[in-house]
Structure 1
Amino acid sequence: MSFAHSGTDQVVLALDFGGTKTALTVADARLGTRLHDLTVDTDPDLKRAVGAARALLAGREPLAVGVSTIGIPGPAGVALAENIPGWDRLPLAHELALEFPESAIRVATDVKAAAAHEYRSGALAGCEPGLYVNLGTGLAVALVTQGAVLAGRHGASGEIGYNLRRLADVGRTDRVPLEDAVSGRALQQGVLTDEFTRELAFHLVNLTIAVDPQRIAVGGGMVRSWDALHDPLRTALDAAVPYPPQLVPAAHPYDAPLLGALALAVAAARPAPPAP
C-alpha cells in the first residue's frame, strides 16, 4: 500500500492513550511541527478518540498515525492495561487501520515511546545506557541502549509496577503489586510520604545497580513534585549504587509519550529509501 498523498497540506496524527486521558496532536508530516492539540477522556471503544482526531484533522487524511498506549499492544489486544476495560481484547492497530485506511499505523507502549523521544532529543540524549522512569498514574521504566529501547521477549521489559514488594510476596498470587503502592494512583490526596519515597527509592536503587545507567530521567505527572522526590532518591542512589548515575527530570516530563507517538508517525510518513 502506498501512503503518498497529493497536495501541500500533508499531516500526521499522534495519539497517546492513558488510563484516564487521551492526548492527540496533528502535525506537519515533514517537520513534525504540532499544529493542533486536544485532550479527551479515554474511552474503551475508541469512539471519543477517533471523533476528536477527525475534528483536529478537519477533513484531511493523515499520512500516518502514531500511537502510544498504556499496556503492551499486540495483534489481539492490549495486555497489562487493566485501567481501560476491554482493552485486552481490542486489536488497537487493526481498529485504527479501519478508521484511517489510507494511513500507516504505528503503535508502541507509552513509556517506551517516551524513552525513545528523550533519547533522541531530550534528557537522555547521548547517554549510554539511559534509564527513563515514568512516575504517573502508573509506574514503569524503559532502558535505552545503543539507540534502541529494550523491549523484552513480550514487549514488557520495564514493567516494574508488577515488582514484588517484600519477601512474603514470593510465590503468592494474591499479593499487592508495587504499582498499587508506588504511583500517582496510589497517592492519598496527592501527598508524598516518607514511606512512599523510601519504597520507590528501594526499587530504583536495585534497578540502577542491575543496569548501571549513565543517567536517569524521570517523567510523568509526579514530576510536578520533583523538589520533594529528588533529594530522597539522590540520597538513596549515592548511598548504595557503586557508580551513582545522574538523576534529572525528563526534558518533556508530561508529553514525552505523545511526542514519541508523533515521532513514530513522522518516520512512517517518510518515503521508503530506494532499493540498492
Structure 2
Amino acid sequence: MDKDTAKFVLGIDLGGTKIALATADTQGHILQRQVISTNAAQGAEQAITRAFATGLQLIAQTRTETNGELAGVGIANMGITEEDRILMAPNVPGWDRLKLPQLARQTFETEAIHIENDVKAAAQAELYWGALAGTDTAIYLNLGTGISATLVVGGRIVRGAHGAAGEIAYNLRHVHDELGISHGHAPLEEYVGGGFIGKRAQRQFDTLSTAEEVFRLAPTDPQARTFVEATLSELAFHVTNLAITLDPERLVIGGGLMRSKELIIPHLEAHFKRFVPFPPSIHEAQFSNDAGLMGAIALAL
C-alpha cells in the first residue's frame, strides 16, 4: 500500500453482542471510532445494515477531518466467510445466510475489502503491532466466551484448506467421544470456553455464575480451586499437544479469561516445561480489549 498518510482504512469487528468500527491511518492509529449493539435477537440483516451505515458515517467524518481517501476495508467476522454464506456461524438468526462479501462490495467504494475470521484477524494485529511481532513460528490463543487458536508459520497466518486451521474448539476430549461438529457440538469449547465454564460453575456452586467469579474464588476456596485446576489441566493438555506439533517460539494469549492470567500462565508454563521438547515463551496479547477491531484494521492495510 502507498504509505501516503492522507489515506485511511475502515475496520469493522462483527460480534454477537456488539459491533465495533473505526477508521485508522496507514500506521494503524485510530482516527474515528464507534460501537453499536448487535441486537442479535432481531437477526443478522438489521445488524449488518446498521453496521455498514455506521461505517459510511465514519468514512465521511474522516474524509472531512483529514481530507483523505479510503484505501481499504477490513471486516473481522464470526465464523468462516464464503461468498454466499457463513460457515460455523454464531447463534444469530440469519447470520449463516449472509452474503457478506457481496454486501460489503455494494456498500463501500473500494475494491480493497478483506474479510477474515475474528481470531485470525486479532492474530494479524498482534503480528503487526503486538506480542507476535517479529515471530516466525507462533500460536495465538483466544480464551474468551469460546476458544480458538491461530497458527503462525513463516511469519504468516495459517488459514488451512478451508479457513478453519486452529479451530481447537472442536477438539475431541476423549477417545470415545461421539458428538462433534456434525451434531452441533464443540467438545473442547463446551468444557473450557468461558461461557461454558460459567454454566458448569452455576451447576456446581450456588453463588457463582461466571468464569471470572470462579477463577477469582479459586485461591481461597478449595472447591473452586479443584474446579479451576481441572479446567486448566484440560486446557493445558490440548495447548501442550498443539505446541508439540507446531514447535512455536512463542504463545500469545488473548481473550476475557486472561483477566485470570496469574492462574492460567503458570499452569501452562508448568505443562510446557514438563512435556514440550522446546517450550515456547508465553505472553499476554497486547490488544486484549480491541483485538477484533485492531484485527479488522490490520486486514485493511
**TM-score using structure 1 length:** 0.85
User: Contact (CA 8 Å) 2:141, 2:149: kept in 1 or not?
Assistant: yes
Per-residue CA deviation, residues 214-262 of structure 1 (Å, 9 max, x unaligned), is: 0100011222221121121111221211211101111222323322211
Q: Which residue of 1 aligns with 2:237?
A: 202
Amino acid in structure 1 at the alignment position of 2:274: A
Q: Which residue of 2 aligns with 1:273?
A: none
Amino acid in structure 1 at the alignment position of 2:247: D
Matched residues in 1 for 2:186 and 2:8: separation? 44
Q: Which residue of 2 aligns with 1:40?
A: 36
Matched residues in 2 for 1:128 and 1:11: separation? 28
Does residue 65 of structure 2 align to residue 62 of structure 1? no
Q: Which residue of 1 aligns with 2:256?
A: 221
Task: Report deviation, 1:82.
Answer: 2.6
SS at 1:126's partner residue? coil
Task: Report deviation, 1:103.
Answer: 5.3
**248-257 vs 147-156, which moves further:** 248-257
Matched residues in 2 for 1:250 and 1:100: separation? 31
Structure 1 pair 209/263, CA: closer, same or farther in 2 (3 Å)? same
Task: Report deviation, 1:202.
Answer: 1.1
Task: Report deviation, 1:165.
Answer: 1.2
Does residue 274 of structure 2 align to residue 239 of structure 1? yes
Matched residues in 1 for 2:197 and 2:131: separation? 26
Amino acid in structure 2 at the alignment position of 1:33: H
User: Contact (CA 8 Å) 1:41, 1:48: kept in 2 or not?
Assistant: no
User: Contact (CA 8 Å) 2:78, 2:90: kept in 1 or not?
Assistant: no
User: Contact (CA 8 Å) 2:240, 2:276: kept in 1 or not?
Assistant: yes
Per-residue CA deviation, residues 164-199 of structure 1 (Å, 9 max, x unaligned), is: 111220576556521122112212112232222111
Task: Report deviation, 1:31.
Answer: 3.4
Q: List aligned pairs for 1:146-225, cutoff 5 A.
A: 146-169=154-177, 174=183, 177-188=187-198, 189-190=210-211, 191-192=214-215, 193-225=228-260
Q: Which residue of 2 aligns with 1:139?
A: 147
Matched residues in 2 for 1:171 and 1:194: separation? 25
User: Contact (CA 8 Å) 1:14, 1:65: kept in 2 or not?
Assistant: yes
Matched residues in 1 for 2:253 and 2:110: separation? 36
- In proportion to residue count, which structure has more helix? 2
User: Contact (CA 8 Å) 1:62, 1:103: kept in 2 or not?
Assistant: no
Q: 1:20 aligns with which of 13, 17, 38?
A: 17
Q: Which residue of 2 aligns with 1:259?
A: 294
User: Contact (CA 8 Å) 1:182, 1:196: kept in 2 or not?
Assistant: yes
User: Contact (CA 8 Å) 1:70, 1:110: kept in 2 or not?
Assistant: yes
Matched residues in 2 for 1:176 and 1:162: separation? 4
Matched residues in 2 for 1:26 and 1:176: separation? 35
Matched residues in 1 for 2:14 and 2:146: separation? 13
Report how many aligned residue pairs link the two structures: 260
Matched residues in 1 for 2:33 and 2:260: separation? 25
Q: 1:111 aligns with which of 116, 119, 123?
A: 119
Structure 1: gaps (5+ residues): 267-276
Task: Report deviation, 1:67.
Answer: 0.8
Amino acid in structure 1 at the alignment position of 2:107: E
Q: Quote the sequence identity (%).
A: 41
Structure 2: gaps (5+ residues): 64-68, 199-209, 216-227
User: Contact (CA 8 Å) 2:128, 2:298: kept in 1 or not?
Assistant: no
Matched residues in 1 for 2:149 and 2:91: separation? 18
Q: List aligned pairs for 1:66-81, cutoff 5 A.
A: 66-81=74-89
Amino acid in structure 2 at the alignment position of 1:158: G
Amino acid in structure 2 at the alignment position of 1:144: V
User: Contact (CA 8 Å) 2:250, 2:283: kept in 1 or not?
Assistant: yes
Per-residue CA deviation, residues 52-107 of structure 1 (Å, 9 max, x unaligned), is: 32343345573321111121111111111233332221121111111214453111
Amino acid in structure 1 at the alignment position of 2:146: G
Structure 1 pair 94/85, CA: closer, same or farther in 2 (3 Å)? same
**210-219 vs 192-201, which moves further:** 192-201
Task: Report deviation, 1:41.
Answer: 2.2
| Aligned-pair Cα RMSD in Å | 2.3
Matched residues in 2 for 1:117 and 1:50: separation? 22
